Amino acid sequence: MDCSSLSLFWVMLTTCLLLGLTGGAAAAARSVSVSVGALFTFNSTIGRAARLAIELAAEDVNADPSVLNGTRMAVLTQDTNCSGFLGTVEALQLMEKDVVAVIGPQSSGIGHVISHVVNELHVPLLSFAATDPTLSSLEYPYFIRTTHSDYFQMKAIADMIDYFQWREITAIFVDDDYGRGGISALGDALAEKRAKISYKAAFPPNADADAINDLLLQVNLMESRIYVVHVNPDSGLTIFSQAKRLRMMEAGYVWMATDWLASVLDSSGLADPNTMSLIQGSIVLRHHIPDSNLKTKFLSRWNDKIGNSSASSSLNSYGLYAYDSVWVVARAVDQLLNKGQEFNFSSDPRLHDTNESTLHLASLKIFNDGQNLLNQLLLTNFTGITGQVQFDSDRNLIHPAYDILNIGGTGSQVIGYWSNYSGLSVVPPEILSEKPPNTTSSQQLYSVIWPGETPTKPRGWVFPNNGKALRIGVPNKVSFNEFVSKSSGPDNVTGYCIDVFNAAIKLLPYPVPCSFILIGNGKENPNNDDIISMVAQNELDAAVGDIAIARNRTKIVDFTQPYTESGLVIVAPVKQSSSSAWAFLKPFTIQMWCVTGAFFIGVGVVVWILEHRKNPEFRGSPRQQLVTLCWFSFSTMFSAQRENTVSTLGRFVLIVWLFVVLIINSSYTASLTSILTVQQLSSGIKGLDSLISSSEPIGYQVGKFTRNYMIEELNIAESRLIPLNTIDEYARALELGPKNGGVAAIVDESPYVDIFLSVYCNFGIVGQEFTREGWGFAFQKDSPLAVDLSTMILTLSENGELQRIHDKWLVRKGCNSDNTDIESNRLSLKSFWGLFLICGLICVLSLIIFFIRICWQYSQYSSTAEPGNSAGTPNGETLPRRMSNLKSFKDLIQFVDKKEEEVKKAIKSRLSDKESQSSRVSIG
């Protein structure tokens, strides 16, 4: 081989060696193991399950050729021993080993401390059990939660509280970051449902049984019987043990536990009868893990592993989240390695060793590729044992959901589910997620067996058993004592309002001791707004009296159902309208009377024209026809016409006219009734409009909301308002009037006005009631007594007791406001004496004309008598006296009784005979 050939050979050999070395280096870079840390408490309910789950996950990752492509994942575990200090030390020790990520810790408190460390060293921290919502991504950017935050769990509890219609709960929690953060989230969730935490019972993390017993004794003195327990799994059962010993697991109590209790039950494998006896009737939340083939295979493998090892813990949900957390890290590291990413660390110049310290701070290095790994972790999207593993924009796992368990007998029963997508439901969340939003099942939760083995939903609260009586504020009034007044009885107060309150209190299914406190000096009525403010400021527990439910008051206190209706009315002096002799003419105007009369005559003429040729009743002499026409026209007003109409047109006209007459009669009657019954006011105040527009003074009752209402709502000048205390002052001010130092009107609530008008009859209500409210009993905000007493008030109304109390105090004999109205509706004779006078004069005149005509006929009848045999006759004979029998009164009566036709015929016949005799005498 020549030199040139030899040179070419060495060049080719060198090239091959270089290519081989490069390929070997690349292969070597891919095969380097990756270290991942794990921090948790080995000997704990969560830690025992997490330890085995992490081991199994590491085995599965290293055995799967599709992940890491031959790169081995080494999981380095450290025991935190439930100590924040030790957890920090263990975390620093892990950082010395150049871990690219840390799985854990399980404690939220340790998570807060370690998050500061990983933030500085850029090492992602994936916690499968730190559920404190305050571990936010803004403060701790390298913290990732691979389980669900307690923010969602507390929303589920708030939805259940709202579902069962409770408004107050007591929170029992461990006083650490985990407990405080969860209860803070619960308070926010309850506020959205208009509920609240009425009492927070916190105990230290290492509290013994005696400390918990003392805490529960204090809790049992509170009103609320809804207990939400948010504690650590390893000490939580002590609470239920002490509660059962204190008889707090009986009927009437409600116990709700967060997912810690489900972890305890799942970790114990077979149900322990002793444990189950402590939590009977409790409601428990558990992370919802959808059923899948992966889950089924893993559970089978877990059980085999447990059977072949010394491990004694069964699997709980946190173990499943720990398993998936290992896979989240493995997939993210695999993605970066596939992109040619190399993991390296660098020293932090701020950390260096000193001669005075044995701490090797320089061994803590910054992970240079920590940000890239963090970004890749947040892009995770795969299906794990716990379901879809994917993070939203807030770094929370998507689709948070919980099972709702009811403990009963020797096991638990799923009574429903909760998810942030569908809320409470009896349908699994994964099924509802496939449907459009707001699609819920027909039943939100199945029935619950509560403590005491009762299916009846507990009321949720009782009157506190602390020996203190309710401080009831009562206005010490100087007027209207029918409603509330001071007395010498056992309650030192009496009245309508007090009787209603006592009757409602007696119906409550629990005793409520009360102490009535009089508010006011007894010389003038106290301001009810001041009493309401005392209730809002916790100076009083409640206020009872004639207290209106006003808008500004409902903002600071809670009122019961109104026990009496009320509203503002205006009282002014009134007098009766003066009636005249011609009051019956007032309903119609002159034009109306003229037109009506013209139509009566016109219709009569029309009917006469239509009936004249056919109806014999409309024929006769002109005088007779005229009388018939007038009679027919005006008799139609009363449908008293005797003449029959025979023509078709005549009947049609008559039907239409009778309808018109009906309308005229009805209108006349209504108008006349209104005119004769209307009351005339002696002041210028006729209603609300004139009250506002007037400048005259107005009276109001001291201490009532009326004053503020007129100033703020009606814009009436304060200078016009005159305070009054008693009903005598009411009457005196109205009688004096605005010109003599009194008032033109008084504005007050209708119950007071009814009492006032029952004594003073010369006043009345003008206008309409212009507000609608009622009286109720005031309690502090969100007091459950307000709700229970409202129910009792409705019961009193239904059984008639409320009306009986009303009749006892407020129904008074004697003058009342209704008497004036009754008298004003009665029509007296003086309103119609003119009409009766006309009718009487017509009757008398008719009789006079009748008797004049009788006398005239009598004179004619007498002058036509036949002559007798008296002297003076041509033959010397006198004429017989034919009319001598008419000279007596009896004869006159008989003459009047004769028929008109007979009398006329007799007179006519005798006149004819007289003329014949006269003719014969003259001829002879």
Q: What pLDDT was estimated at residue 359? A: 63
Residues 221 and 339 in one domain: no
**155-196 per-position pLDDT tens digit:** 999 999 999 989 899 999 999 999 999 999 999 999 999 899
Residue 16 domain-assigned (yes or no): no
Asked if 324 contacts 384 with a C-beta cutoff of 8 angstroms, the reply is yes
Q: Is the dihedral of CA 529, 534, 535, 536 positive or negative?
A: positive
DSSP tally for the chain: helices H, then strands E? 30, 34
CA distance 691 to 709: 14
Residues 687 and 729 in one domain: yes
CA distance 308 to 299: 14
pLDDT at residue 481 is higher than 60: yes
Domain end position, chosen among 640, 655, 677: 677
Residue 908 domain-assigned (yes or no): no
SS3 state of residue 507: helix
Domain end position, chosen among 431, 453, 482: 431
CA distance 906 to 865: 10
Residues 374 and 302 in one domain: yes
Asked if 344 contacts 373 with a C-beta cutoff of 8 angstroms, the reply is no
Residues 427 and 524 in one domain: no
CA distance 50 to 38: 10
CA distance 429 to 347: 48
What pLDDT band is residue 850 in, cutting at 50, 70 and 90?
low
Full residue range of the structural domain in which residue 708 is found:
681-772
Residues 245 and 270 in one domain: yes
**637-649 per-position pLDDT tens digit:** 666 566 677 666 6
Average confidence (pLDDT) over 615-629: 72
Token pair of 626 as six digits = 């005229």
AA letter at 578: S
Residue 921 domain-assigned (yes or no): no
CATH number at residue 197: 3.40.50.2300
AA letter at 39: L
Q: What pLDDT was estimated at residue 206? A: 86
Residues 205 and 266 in one domain: yes
Residues 412 and 284 in one domain: yes
β partners of residue 486:
493
Q: What pLDDT was estimated at residue 792? A: 94
Q: How many domains does the chain have?
A: 5
Asked if 241 contacts 267 with a C-beta cutoff of 8 angstroms, the reply is no
Residue 888 domain-assigned (yes or no): no
Domain end position, chosen among 635, 661, 677: 677
Write the CA distances from 837 to 661, 810, 829, 832, integer angstroms.
Answer: 25, 47, 12, 9
CA dihedral 66, 71, 72, 74 (to 10 degrees): -110
What pLDDT band is residue 409 in, cutting at 50, 70 and 90?
confident
Residues 129 and 61 in one domain: yes
Token pair of 574 as six digits = 């009134």
Average confidence (pLDDT) over 80-103: 88
Residues 68 and 154 in one domain: no
Residues 331 and 268 in one domain: no
AA letter at 209: A
What is the crossing angle of helices 833-863 and 889-897, to 10°? 100
Residue 575 domain-assigned (yes or no): no
β partners of residue 763:
573
Token pair of 54 as six digits = 């992490």
CA distance 404 to 157: 10
CA distance 125 to 317: 19
Q: Is the dihedral of CA 255, 259, 260, 265 positive or negative?
A: positive
Residues 768 and 780 in one domain: no
AA letter at 3: C
Q: Residue written as tokens 């942030």? A: 420
User: 328, 264, 269: which is closest to 299 by C-alpha?
Assistant: 269
**323-370 per-position pLDDT tens digit:** 999 999 999 999 999 888 888 888 877 776 665 666 667 678 889 999
Higher confidence at residue 401 or residue 466? 401
Token pair of 583 as six digits = 């009051």
Average confidence (pLDDT) over 580-592: 74
**427-455 per-position pLDDT tens digit:** 999 888 877 766 444 558 999 999 999 99
Q: What pLDDT was estimated at residue 23? A: 38
pLDDT at residue 771 is higher than 50: yes
E runs forming strands in 104-225: 125-127, 143-145, 168-174, 196-203
**366-390 per-position pLDDT tens digit:** 899 999 999 999 999 999 999 999 9
**523-572 per-position pLDDT tens digit:** 888 999 999 999 999 999 999 999 999 989 999 999 999 999 999 999 99
* Percent residues over pLDDT 90 in the chain: 47
Residues 364 and 510 in one domain: no
**485-508 per-position pLDDT tens digit:** 988 877 889 999 999 999 999 998
**878-890 per-position pLDDT tens digit:** 334 444 444 556 6
Which phi-psi region, left, alpha or beta, contains residue 239 (left: φ > 0; alpha: ψ -120 to 50)? alpha
AA letter at 538: N
User: 786, 796, 834, 759: which is closest to 579 by C-alpha?
Assistant: 834
What pLDDT band is residue 783 in, cutting at 50, 70 and 90?
confident
β partners of residue 172:
201, 229
Asked if 121 contacts 366 with a C-beta cutoff of 8 angstroms, the reply is yes
**100-158 per-position pLDDT tens digit:** 999 989 899 999 999 998 999 999 999 999 999 999 888 899 999 999 999 999 999 99
Q: What pLDDT was estimated at residue 890? A: 65
Secondary element (H or E) of residue 226: strand 226-230
What global pTM score does this model have?
A: 0.67
**709-765 per-position pLDDT tens digit:** 999 999 999 999 999 989 999 999 999 999 889 999 999 999 999 999 888 888 888
**197-224 per-position pLDDT tens digit:** 999 999 999 899 999 999 999 999 888 9
SS3 state of residue 597: helix
**592-607 per-position pLDDT tens digit:** 778 777 777 777 777 7
CA distance 672 to 120: 98
Residue 21 domain-assigned (yes or no): no
Lowest mean pLDDT among 167-171, 676-680, 696-700: 676-680
